[in-house]
Amino acid sequence: MRRILLTVAYDGTEYHGWQLQDNGPTIEGELNRAIEELTGTVIEVIGASRTDAGVHGKGNRAVFDTESTIPAERFTAAINAFLPRDIRVINSQEVDIDWHPRKVKTIKTYEYRIDRGIIPDPLRVRYTWNVWGELDIDAMRKAAGHLVGEHDFTSFCAAASPVEDKTREIISIDIEENPSASGGGIPSEELIIRVKGYGFLYNMVRIIAGTLIAVGQHKITSDDVKTILDARDRTRACETAPAKGLTLISIIDTE
C-alpha cells in the first residue's frame, strides 16, 4: 500500500465545500470519484483543510492510499483526466504511509479579495466581494494589528462551531492595494487581505475580512476590533464576508 499526496486547485463556486455532503457536489466527492475511476478501487481522500461552500483553493492538499503501480508524479495528469474542469491536481508525490495532512504543523495562507469598482467586474465576480466606496486602508491595517498573535478568536468564529478551544495564532495580516486589477473600461481597484496562521476556525477569515471592511468604512474604529476580540462573543464582530472572495492559497509544512 502507498500513500499519495495531492496538491489541489479548484473554483469552489459550484460546490458545497470540500467535505462530502448529501445535498450536493463537493471537492472531496469529485476527487474520490475520479481516483476510483482511474484505479478501479473505492477511494476516500483525506483533506488538509475543509473549505466552506463557495470558497476557492489554489494549494489545498489531500492524501489517498492505493495499491496502484502508477508512478507518483504521473497521478497528476492521470487524475485530471477524470475531473471536471474547475478542479485540478497540480502536484502529486508519494509520502510515508502514516503521514497525515491534518496532523503536521503547517502555515496556511488565505487571501480575501475585494473588488472596489462602482460596477462589479464580471470577469472577477466569482472571486471577489464588490465593496464600492472609500475605504480607510490605514485604519484597516491598524485594526489588523490587534488580531496578529495568539488569541481566543471566539468573536471571529461561527457561533455554530462545535470546537471548544478557540485559541489560534495568526502570523500576519497584510492588506494590499492592487490597482493593476483595473481594466477593460471598468474603473476598479482590487484590495487583497492576506492572512497567514497555523490554523483557523470555522468562518474565521471571512469574519475577519467583514470586520476589517467595517473599519475601512468607519462603521467601527480600529480600537473597537481589540474590544471585539477581548469580548469573545460572535455577536460583537461584524458580518461574515461572502465565501466567493476567499481562496486558500497555500499550506506549507513547518516541521
| Grouped pLDDT means (10 residues each) for the chain, 255 residues | 98 96 93 97 95 96 97 98 98 96 94 92 94 93 98 94 93 88 61 96 97 97 97 94 98 89
Pairwise CA distance, residues 253 & 45, whole Å: 19
Cell of 136: 480607510
Q: Are 30 and 83 in contact (CB under 8 A)?
A: yes
Structural element, H or E, at residue 61: strand 56-66
Cell of 19: 467535505
* DSSP character at residue 244: G
Residue 45's nearest CA partner among 28, 70, 66, 27 is: 28
pLDDT of residue 178: 77
pLDDT of residue 159: 86
Residues with catalytic roles: 52
pLDDT of residue 23: 86
Q: Domains, the chain, ranges and CATH? A: 2-95 (3.30.70.580), 106-253 (3.30.70.660)
pLDDT of residue 141: 98
Helix, strand, coil in percent for the chain, rounding step 5: 25, 30, 45
Structural element, H or E, at residue 210: helix 204-216
Cell of 106: 503547517
What lies within 8 Å, CB to CB, of 118 at 6+ separation is 132, 187
